[in-house]
Amino acid sequence: MKRYLLSLGALVVGTGLVFLIHGKVAAQMVKKPSGGANVEGLGPKGNMPEGKPSLEIEEYGFMFPLDPFIVNLAGSRGSKFLKVNVSLKMSAPEVNLELRKNILKLTDSILFLLTSKSIEDVDSFQEKSELEDEIMVRINKFLTIGQVRGVYFTEFIIQ
């Protein structure tokens, strides 16, 4: 009995550590550089030195990952589903707070959009691109400070 409790305790502690480490890594990926740190060529306030444009920031911008969406596709009677992971490219870091404030509205709006799609509506590159644009338009309706400049699917599974 003691052996069982010890192994169960070790499992719980190990799982907790994995989630803690994963959370720290995710936070580091989304976190804006702090004011005093000099991060890989950035100036003391986290901005680029004069004359050096930031290719990474210009190309990718400030990203806001959403939780995965899993929905039944329209007209499939529950036999086909779509799983997507979406990341949003923000126009400025200040948009992050507004996205967080409206996350329930955004999620609801995206869920309604995705469940209205049939398999024929999402199976080509052109249709996926149009879906990205539709998501961006819906999200920008909720924003007042900045805007979302891009929607990226990091996972797109139809089954």
What domains lie within the chain, and their CATH numbers?
61-158 (3.30.479.30)
pLDDT of residue 36: 36
Q: Which residue has the higher pLDDT, 20 or 92?
A: 92
pLDDT of residue 79: 86
How does the average pLDDT of the chain come out, rounded? 76
How far is it, in rounded angstroms, from Cα 53 to Cα 155?
A: 30
Residue 1 has pLDDT above 80, yes or no: no
Backbone conformation region of residue 78, classed left if phi is above 0, alpha if psi is from -120 to 50, else beta: left
Q: Each residue of 91-144: pLDDT tens digit?
A: 999 999 999 999 999 999 999 999 999 999 999 999 999 999 999 999 999 999
What is the pTM for the complete model shown? 0.62
pLDDT of residue 48: 46
Q: Which two structure tokens, joined as six digits, stand for 90? A: 């923000």
pLDDT of residue 7: 54
How far is it, in rounded angstroms, from Cα 18 to Cα 29?
A: 17
pLDDT of residue 135: 97
Q: Are 118 and 76 in contact (CB under 8 A)?
A: yes
Mean pLDDT is highest, among 11-25, 59-73, 82-96, for 82-96
Residue 51 has pLDDT above 80, yes or no: no
